[in-house]
Amino acid sequence: MARYTGAACRRCRRENIKLYLKGDRCYSDKCSFERRAVAPGQHGQSRFKKVSDYCVQLREKQKVKNIYGMLEGQFRNYFHKADLQKGITGENLLVMLERRLDNTIFRLGFASSRKQARQLVRHNHVLVNDKKVNIPSFLVSVDDVISIKEKSKTNSYLVESMEAVARRGIPSWLELDKNAFKATVKALPNRDEITMPIQEQLIVELYSK
C-alpha cells in the first residue's frame, strides 16, 4: 500500500503544529518544528497570506490524516461510516480513528509513535483476546484484551517505549498492566480525551460540499 516516505517533520511545519510523528525526538531539542516553525518551501516564511474557507477545511482534514497516518481513501471511508452512525459525525469519526489498533498500541505506550505501532502490529507482535491480529486498522471494542506476544516482550524498542509511557499518560478508556505488557479496553474513547487541537466540524463541512 502506498505510504508517505518524505520527511515527517515537513508535515508538522506544513500544519504549523506538532503532530508527534517521530516519537521521543518530538519531545527533545532535536525536533525540527521547534528549530524552524515555518511552512516548508521557499515561500514558507510569507507573512501575509489570504486563506479561503476551503483551505482552512482542507488543512484540518490533512492534519488529522497526518496525525493518524491515513491515506485519502481510507480517511474518506471512515468519514462515510461515521456519517451513517447515530450521533455527531465529527465525533464519531474521531472515536473510530482512536479505536484503530495501531493508535491503541501507541496510546498504551507500547510504541513511541503511531508509525512504530503500525510496524508492531504488522510484524505479528500484538495479540487481541489471545489471538494474533496484524491489521493496523482493526477496531478494538469494549472488554478487548490487548497484549504483546511473550517472545516480543524483550524487544528493545518496546521496552524503551514502555519506560517513557509516563510522559504521555494513558487515556482513561484503557487499563494497562505495565509489567505484564497487557491492557484492557474499559470503554469506548471519549471526545474530551482527544487532546490534540482538532476541529472536526471543519472536516464535516469539507466532505459535505
pLDDT tens string 6-54: 566 666 666 666 666 655 555 555 555 555 555 555 455 555 467 788 9
Q: What is the pLDDT of residues 163-187, one digit of tens each?
A: 777 667 788 999 999 888 999 999 9
Mean pLDDT of 54-58: 90
Over range 96-122, report the average pLDDT: 92
Contacts of residue 74, Cβ cutoff 8 Å, sequence gap at least 6: 137
Q: What is the number of other CB atoms lying within 10 angstroms of the CB of residue 165?
A: 16
Helix, strand, coil abundance in the chain, percent, nearest 5: 50, 10, 45
Give pLDDT, residue 194. 86
What are the φ/ψ torsions at residue 15 (nearest 5 degrees)?
Answer: -90, -5
Count CB atoms within 10 A of the CB of residue 168: 16
pLDDT at 159: 77
Mean pLDDT score, 119-128: 94
Give the model's confidence band at 83: pLDDT under 50 very low, under 70 low, under 90 confident, else very high. Answer: very high
Contact 33, 167 (CB under 8 A): no
More confident residue, 122 or 26: 122
Q: What local confidence, expressed as pLDDT, does residue 168 receive?
A: 72
**What are the chain's domains?**
1-44 (1.10.1050.10), 98-191 (3.10.290.10)
**In contact, 186 and 51? CB cutoff 8 Å:** no
pTM exceeding the 0.85 threshold for the entire prediction: no
Task: Please report the pLDDT score of residue 48 as a whole number.
Answer: 46
Q: What is d(CA 122, CA 118) in angstroms, rounded to the nearest whole number?
A: 6
pLDDT of 191 strictly over 50? yes
Is residue 162 over pLDDT 60? Answer: yes
- How far apart CA 48 and CA 32 sit, in angstroms, is 23
